[in-house]
Amino acid sequence: MNFDMSEEQRMILAYGDNVAKKYDRTYWMQCAAENRSPRELFDQIAKDGFIGMMVDEEYGGAGLGMMELALLMEGLASNGIPLLSLVVGSGMAMPLLNKHGSEEIKSRLLPDACSGKTKLCFAITEPDAGSNTIKITTTAKAQGDGTYRLNGQKYFISDADDSDYVLLVTRTTPMGETKKKTDGFTLFMVDLKAKGIDMTRIDMSIPVPENQMTLFFDDVVLTDGDIVGEKDKGFQILFDCLNPERILVGAVSTGLGRYALGKAVEYANDRVVFKGPIGAYQGLQHPLAQAKTEIEMSSLMTYKAAWMFDQGRPAGEYSSYVKYFSAEAACHAVDSSLQCFGGNGFTKEYGIFDIYPMTRLLRTAPLNREMVLNYIGQNVLGLPRSY
């Protein structure tokens, strides 16, 4: 196996270092404190040609793969910038639209999305159907004339308030009326400015500038032309965006862990207590070294999962490994770094504790660690289903 990156891939990974010279962690946290979108950063990334990385060139994209997008996310997060809008837009909505959308809808939406003129997000979760996607009740009811009436609610939708369109998972046939429980799902591209759509912000405790929103749909008019994929067969293509979500969470977790460790190492080399720098003490050195090892293992597993996805191979197994291990590694890296700083780690000046809430979130979202372990136990190890 060749572990060398191409020159282009090295450039993409290093892009985070370059863009952070202007839009750094301080900018990110200022946006969070002011509860405003980091739109200047997003626009810069769009201007530099990185928003449509997984979109075909004919629609304004770069025609690259999951590996390159993961490298971009890792490089940004390694500078303390976990830009989740790229996960839901560049990693989920846009590639799925590129692969499964009609020629009309791709030509209409993807060029502006790649240029950053419009933003896309993704919506599947509902208040009463979190991990149990089968039980979603948001429904697009056919009217018999090529139109649908959309009604329902979506919950924890990242960046919806700063987006123009949402790739929405609905039911066009209720579960009780289908032969299989996975039948009846349809994906629609929905204009968030359409009549009948309201949204409210979920007040989060995590310092992050990209909001989580609840969306409400009241008789929103959709058409056959808004469908992505096939009517009633949307479940079959969902994992074209759910596996990428887990891979990109791995990239973000890896980067944040590496960012925390970098700050800890700098501090441990400079901070002198008793006879010398605290980094010489094994009580601090060994936890940091262990965390570093775990972060680099997380990085390699993320690359493996991204490579599997790009090769068109089943990626669920490796995406699950990544989702589980990377979040654990990131939490351990931040915790070890925090311990290194002592009391200073809890101050705004050093900014270490501020990293922890995001890494801890990634143990729970977008799919909690228990469900990931269930998948591995049942689908990889062959153990019986527990739920």
pLDDT in tens, 43-69: 999 999 999 999 999 999 999 999 999
Q: Are 255 and 87 in contact (CB under 8 A)?
A: no
> What pLDDT was estimated at residue 162?
96
pLDDT in the model for residue 370: 95
pLDDT score of 183 more than 80: yes
What is the per-residue pLDDT for 220? 98
The per-residue pLDDT for 134 is 87
CA end-to-end distance (rounded Å), the chain: 39
Question: 337 in helix, strand or coil?
Answer: helix
Is residue 248 within 8 A of residue 309, CB to CB? The reply is no
Express each pLDDT in 240-263 by its tens digit: 889 999 999 999 999 999 999 999
Instruction: Compute the average pLDDT of residues 353-370.
Output: 95
Q: How high is the pLDDT of residue 343?
A: 96
CA–CA gap between residue 71 and residue 132 (Å, rounded): 30
Confidence of residue 129 (pLDDT cuts 50, 70, 90): confident
Indicate whether 283 pLDDT > 90: yes
Q: Which three-class secondary structure state does DSSP give residue 109?
A: helix
State the pLDDT at residue 240. 87
Taking residues 226-253, report their average pLDDT. 95
> CB of 299 within 8 A of CB of 248?
no
Rounded CA gap, 163 and 168, in Å? 13
Pairing of strands 185-191, 120-123: unpaired
- Which residues does residue 201 pair with via DSSP β-bridges, in sequence order? 213
The pLDDT value given to residue 13 = 97
Considering Cα of 97, then 101, then 105, then 106, what sign does the dihedral take?
A: positive
- Distance separating alpha carbons of residues 221 and 275, to the nearest angstrom: 72
Domain boundaries, the chain: 7-118, 121-236, 238-380
Topology of the domain covering 121-236: Butyryl-CoA Dehydrogenase, subunit A; domain 2 (2.40.110)
Tell me how far apart the alpha carbons of residues 212 and 79 are, in angstroms, rounded to a whole number: 23
Domain 238-380 has CATH 1.10.10.10: no
**Residue 387: which pLDDT band, with cuts at 50, 70 and 90?**
confident
User: CB burial class (10 A; 0-12, 13-18, 19+) of residue 210?
Assistant: buried
The CA-based angle 328-120-260, given to 5 degrees, is 25
* In contact, 357 and 334? CB cutoff 8 Å: no
Contact 338, 345 (CB under 8 A): yes
User: Is residue 71's pLDDT more than 90?
Assistant: yes
Q: At what angle do helices 39-47 and 25-33 cross, to 10 degrees?
A: 140
1 pLDDT exceeds 80?
no
Given this model, what pLDDT does residue 239 score? 84
Candidate CATH numbers 3.10.450.30, 3.40.605.10, 1.10.540.10, 1.10.1040.10; the one for domain 7-118: 1.10.540.10
Contact 16, 77 (CB under 8 A): yes
Distances (CA, A) of 292 to 258, 346, 366: 7, 21, 24
| Listed range (150-154, 173-177, 210-214, 249-253) with the worst mean pLDDT | 173-177
Contact (Cβ atoms closer than 8 angstroms) between residue 72 and residue 49: no
